[in-house]
């Protein structure tokens, strides 16, 4: 009998040892955490999430051998969700120093942003994209546009065709459209892009107009560009080129009964929208310059940049065409468009246009979310616009954007429920990028170093 008992104990111990041996020394366990299911808007409590080799290996309710993990993060009382995507970002380019470029990339990452879509491409960004993918630099995942296609860079149909083919060959993820392109040149650009299989996104040139732009199937239209102009009745007999700052000059002519028509056209043609509303509530708003410069995040920007922002802001405020009441009407129309596009359009993507005036990389995404909420979007819709929706946009639902087995471990751990309060996304315990954990303490240390360099 003693021999049998001894044999049973030996088998149990062997099984336990074998289970422990199967746990990789590089695996990370996030224990007892509440997962934010961004697709369904549900909370999954007391989950055990195992990360290894940069990916999510398992998501379990119970884990019998938790003590076998050498690397653990206590998730008790905390919330785990996918990192955010900043879908209208700008990455510095030469002659900006490599050090400053990497500092900017970290500013994004330090604020829950694990994916960025660079909206003004440069050959140097192709190399950055590879370094980020290979883990050679601390950076969000990078998608990069081509260099700008605009009225100066593509003046003929031949130029448009040649540049589209070249940018596709160079390996850019998509084409960036800027203002000034003439309609025949734009149509050639679109035809060539469709032929070679590269998407295009960005602004709506005045000569193209919002309806033709939507029918041309932009991958995304950013800034809600062209929509306000599209609300102006034909009987107004305006000159499209006199639209001002994103249609501001036509604010009083806008017929908002036309909103539903444009929203339906966006949905029918599968065009995503990136609002960048924070651009209009900071830069183009009757806000005090000194108050904006006093925001805590400004300490991470070089003094020269802050001086440039001050000058640009003051020039706008001193423009005789600027009127506070008209700005309010302008913002109200934009909010109506954003809400309608969110509820009935094809889809929304989170993007703040950083760094632009007073939009500090990473930090500005939280202002953008607040502005989207102010336009009537729900917390879940806003979270989806920065997680699962960007993954759908890129056709990469099996790579990122959810907490799911097999996906890249680009995650954030926060101290409160973001479905209830978006401000929770600023209460970070840490960020994980490709399975590498950056604790709150490590993030704060690096931010202090960036602050010191910016103020020297």
Residues contacting 404, CB < 8 A, separation 6+: 56, 59
Residue 315 burial (C-beta neighbours within 10 Å; 0-12, 13-18, 19+)? exposed
One domain, residues 68 and 153: no
Residue 279 DSSP label: I
Residues facing residue 175 across a β-bridge = 200
Of 381, 400, 419, which one is at a domain's C-terminal end?
A: 400
One domain, residues 114 and 199: yes
Residue 252 burial (C-beta neighbours within 10 Å; 0-12, 13-18, 19+)? exposed
Q: How far apart are CA 217 and CA 215, in angstroms?
A: 5
Which CATH number belongs to the domain containing residue 424 in this structure? 2.30.40.10
One domain, residues 66 and 166: no
In a domain, 451, yes or no: no
One domain, residues 356 and 419: no
In a domain, 1, yes or no: no
Which CATH number belongs to the domain containing residue 92 in this structure? 3.20.20.140
Nearest-5° angle of CA 362, CA 363, CA 364? 95
Mean pLDDT of the chain: 93
One domain, residues 156 and 298: yes
Is the distance from CB of 177 to CB of 210 less than 8 angstroms?
no
pLDDT of residue 13: 44
Q: Can you give the residue range of the structural domain that contains 39?
A: 28-82+401-439
Residue 5 burial (C-beta neighbours within 10 Å; 0-12, 13-18, 19+)? exposed
In a domain, 255, yes or no: yes
Please tell me the total count of domains within the chain.
Answer: 2
One domain, residues 72 and 130: no
Residue 153: φ, ψ to 5°:
-85, -25
What token pair was written down for 341? 């596009």
Q: How far apart are CA 92 and CA 121, in angstroms?
A: 9
Q: How far apart are CA 402 and CA 397, in angstroms?
A: 8
Residue 11 burial (C-beta neighbours within 10 Å; 0-12, 13-18, 19+)? exposed
- The torsion of the CA quartet 170, 131, 362, 270, rounded to 10 degrees, works out to 40
One domain, residues 375 and 351: yes
pLDDT of residue 19: 44
Residues contacting 382, CB < 8 A, separation 6+: 350, 369, 372, 373, 422
Is the distance from CB of 121 to CB of 419 less than 8 angstroms?
no
Residues contacting 361, CB < 8 A, separation 6+: 86, 89, 104, 107, 108, 111, 354, 355
In a domain, 8, yes or no: no
Distance of CA 335 to the CA centre of its chain: 19
pLDDT of residue 389: 98
In a domain, 393, yes or no: yes
pLDDT of residue 288: 87
Is the distance from CB of 211 to CB of 265 less than 8 angstroms?
yes
In a domain, 456, yes or no: no
Nearest-5° angle of CA 140, CA 142, CA 143? 150
Pick the closest to residue 111 from 428, 453, 448 (CA basis).
428
One domain, residues 225 and 360: yes
One domain, residues 95 and 207: yes
Sign of CA dihedral 355, 356, 360, 363: negative
Pairing of strands 220-222, 272-274: parallel
Quick check: helix, strand or coil at residue 284?
coil
In a domain, 414, yes or no: yes
In a domain, 448, yes or no: no
One domain, residues 117 and 181: yes
Residue 250: φ, ψ to 5°:
-100, 10
Q: Which parts of the chain have pLDDT scores under 70? A: 1-21
One domain, residues 409 and 391: no
What token pair was written down for 208? 């193209």
Q: How far apart are CA 336 and CA 89, in angstroms?
A: 24
Q: What's the whole-model pTM score?
A: 0.93
One domain, residues 264 and 367: yes
Residue 248 DSSP label: G
Is the distance from CB of 366 to CB of 112 less than 8 angstroms?
no
pLDDT of residue 7: 45
Distance of CA 4 to the CA centre of its chain: 62
CB neighbourhood size of 366 (10 A): 19
């Amino acid at each position: 009998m003693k021999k049998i008992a001894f044999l049973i104990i030996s088998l149990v111990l062997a099984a336990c040892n074998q289970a422990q041996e199967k746990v990789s020394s590089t695996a990370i366990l996030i224990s007892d955490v509440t997962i934010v299911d961004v697709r369904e808007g549900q909370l999954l409590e007391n989950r055990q999430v195992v990360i290894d080799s940069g990916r999510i290996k398992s998501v379990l309710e119970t884990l019998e051998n938790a003590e076998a993990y050498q690397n653990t993060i206590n998730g008790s009382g905390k919330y785990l969700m996918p990192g955010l995507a900043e879908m209208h970002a700008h990455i510095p380019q030469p002659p900006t120093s490599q050090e400053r470029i990497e500092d900017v990339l970290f500013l994004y990452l330090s604020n829950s942003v694990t994916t960025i879509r660079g909206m003004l491409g440069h050959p140097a960004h192709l190399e950055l994209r590879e370094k980020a993918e290979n883990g050679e630099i601390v950076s969000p995942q990078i998608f990069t546009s081509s260099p700008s296609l605009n009225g100066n860079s593509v003046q003929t149909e031949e130029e448009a065709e040649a540049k589209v083919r070249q940018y596709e060959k160079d390996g850019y993820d998509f084409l960036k459209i800027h203002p000034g392109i003439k309609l025949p040149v734009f149509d050639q650009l679109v035809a060539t892009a469709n032929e070679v299989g590269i998407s295009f996104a960005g602004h709506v040139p005045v000569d193209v107009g919002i309806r033709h732009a939507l029918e041309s199937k932009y991958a995304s239209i950013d800034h809600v560009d062209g929509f306000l102009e599209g609300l102006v009745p034909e009987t107004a007999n305006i000159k499209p080129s006199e639209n001002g700052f994103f249609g501001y000059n036509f604010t009083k002519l806008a017929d908002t009964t036309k909103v539903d028509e444009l929203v339906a056209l966006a949905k029918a043609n599968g065009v995503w929208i990136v609002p960048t509303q924070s651009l209009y509530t900071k830069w183009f708003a009757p806000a005090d310059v000194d108050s904006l410069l006093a925001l805590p995040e400004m300490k991470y920007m070089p003094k020269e940049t802050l001086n440039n922002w001050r000058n640009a802001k003051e020039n706008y405020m001193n423009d005789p065409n600027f009127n506070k009441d008209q700005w309010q009407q302008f913002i109200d129309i934009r909010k109506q468009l954003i809400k309608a596009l969110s509820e009935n359009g094809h889809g929304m993507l989170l993007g703040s246009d950083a760094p632009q005036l007073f939009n500090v990389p990473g930090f500005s995404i939280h202002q953008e979310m607040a502005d989207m909420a102010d336009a009537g979007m729900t917390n879940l819709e806003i979270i989806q616009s920065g997680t699962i929706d960007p993954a759908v946009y890129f056709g990469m639902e099996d790579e990122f954007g959810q907490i799911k087995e097999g996906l890249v471990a680009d995650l954030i751990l926060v101290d409160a429920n973001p479905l209830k309060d978006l401000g929770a996304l600023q209460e970070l315990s840490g960020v994980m990028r490709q399975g590498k954990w950056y604790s709150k303490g490590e993030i704060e240390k690096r931010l202090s170093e960036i602050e010191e360099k910016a103020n020297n």
